[in-house]
Amino acid sequence: MSLLKREAENILLNNRREGYTLPTNNKLYPAQWNWDSAYIALGYSYFNKEYAIVELEKLFEGQWSDGMVPHILFHHKDENYFPNHNTWQCGDKIPSSGITQPPIVSSILKLMLDKHEFSSSEMERILNLVKKTKNYLEWFYKFRDPNDTGLVSILHPWESGTDNSPLWDFPLSKILIEENLEYKRRDLDVSSSDVRPLKRDYDCYITLLNKFRNEKYNPEKLYDISMFNVADIGFNSLFLKACKDLVYIATKNNIECTSIEKKITKTENKLISLYNKGDNSFYSFDVLNKQSLEIPSITNYFILFADLKNEEINNSVIQSLKKYNSNEKYFFSSIKPDSKYFEEIRYWRGPVWINCNWILYKGLLEKDLEFANKIKSHTLDLIHEKDFHEYYSCKSGTPYGANNFSWSAALYLDLINN
Ligand code: GLC
């Protein structure tokens, strides 16, 4: 155990650059990613609190003046990555992408504050981050729910963090690919095409990006002009929990937070309204095409992380999760294996991801401790057996994608300490 602990710490340290940490040490992701950094900060908090705080400070250095925190910050103008700063052409102080990612940062700050003691100067820096997180969450309500429905939309599959999930197949099928679209992918130089998104997916990703760039990423416009607009269950669950955790920290520290506080109940009720009693499931909603997306994705269970105040629903979701991977040696697969959408090794279309297990573990801790502990020990066993990779087959445990993957290492450190 302690050898692996050291290995996990070293992965983070070796992937660390000037104040921020790459998702992996190979060339697949040569920049700072939003939700990766949040997980990474939690990992550092167990052995270097300064690095934990700096990681998040570095992330918020890239916050736009309207409040958005981009999904990628290009601290170095590395042209080997696609799409790099030249394609995006945006960023306030730091060149960045023009879209965002799940804002789990306030939940991570809460976990850090609950677990560790901080000095008063560290506390001051953390509360500064809390205020910036508040602006970030307000940005979602303002620009991603302009009609005040209670749910926020993602406008690009990359915003979900689960890039090529089958959840997006239907909404993406409606996109008119830009004519004469030209670009060169770089992910296939360092990763096999069997495990990566397809060309048609990339055509959509870049068509959307180009359209957003043409609008100069004006958040007032993007919601209406985007050819992709989805109220995703996974995203909204992480978002609702982020709002709850922000309010919790703010209240404890006398930070004014009524703008978020006032919205939470509506978001919670709206999410509950997406519950489908017939098959104990939550399904995302394609806002643009007005269609429910009935895909058996593990992210639908992130609802457990949102801590809905509805025991009956929570219990039936837990029962359904218990059956989700009943025939697989390793869990949780990103897509249910008996579904026609399942692909054993293709990225977010089947493989097991450590962050999904961690989200469900955290969500179950106060609802079903025995099940939570089962998920934890299973996840630790997978890492003991196969090491810190990006994702794994649920059938054989074979690792795929990047090795020395930072969030797998960081979340391992959290799991062994809780
Ligand atoms: C991929 C993943 C995303 C992650 C990024 C860096 O794009 O889909 O969730 O943040 O890689 O690890």
pLDDT, tens digit, for every residue of 270-319?
999 999 999 899 999 999 999 999 999 999 999 999 999 999 999 999 99
pLDDT at site 80: 86
Given a cut of 60, is residue 12 above it in pLDDT?
yes
Tokens for 230, please give them.
């989805």
Using the atom order of ligand 1, give the atom closest to the CA of residue 355: 9
Q: Tell me which residue has its CA closest to atom 12 in ligand 1.
A: 23
Using the atom order of ligand 1, give the atom closest to the CA of residue 163: 8
Given a cut of 60, is residue 1 above it in pLDDT?
no
The answer to whether 106 and 137 have CB atoms below 8 angstroms apart is yes
Query: 325 falls in which pLDDT band (50, 70, 90)?
Result: very high
Q: Residue 97 and residue 87: Cα distance in Å, rounded?
A: 9
pLDDT at site 2: 86
Q: What does the pLDDT average to over 90-119?
A: 98
Claim: this prediction has a pTM higher than 0.85: yes
CB proximity list for 262: less than 8 A, separation 6 or greater: none
78: annotated active-site residue: no
What SS3 class is residue 10? Answer: helix
Which burial class, exposed, middle or buried, applies to 183 when counting CB atoms under 10 A from its CB (0-12, 13-18, 19+)?
middle
pLDDT at site 150: 98
Say what percent of the chain tops pLDDT 90. Answer: 96
For residue 417, how far is its CA from the centre of ligand 1 (angstroms)? 25
Q: Which of 142-156, 186-200, 351-365 has the lowest mean pLDDT?
A: 186-200
Using the atom order of ligand 1, give the atom closest to the CA of residue 29: 6
Catalytic residue among 55, 163, 286, 307: 163
For residue 161, how far is its CA from the centre of ligand 1 (angstroms)? 6
Burial 24-47 (b: 16+ CB within 10 A, else e): bbbbbbbbbbbbbbbbbbbbbbbb
The residue assigned the tokens 């870049």 is 206
